[in-house]
Structure 1
């Protein structure tokens, strides 16, 4: 999907995980080719099939002290 935000046009892929809709940016349209965007989307779908959230935090990365989810 291509979304336009005033002067920026970005490529996005949408998915649902745990009942929550999520959108992952694949990159700016002027930088990322359609072939590369398709490859990135394919990898994200593969991660979902393996039970991995493509937008999940890397292991060992936590929130700074004092911040709560909300």
Structure 2
């Protein structure tokens, strides 16, 4: 089943995976001394936490935690 889903993703089908939000972020303390700013910020606080990661092949990965 995982290979079939991977095939769909490689063909360009957007993927949505439902899971729990992580309780910790590995490496966050190591990056705390850098002046990192988010790519976007909500206008007001809300229940959704988002993460955006681009890869070298110009693919954008978004994680949305509710």
TM norm structure 1: 0.22
Structure showing greater relative contact order (alpha-carbon pairs closer than 8 Å, 6 or more residues apart): 2
More strand by share: 1
TM norm structure 2: 0.22
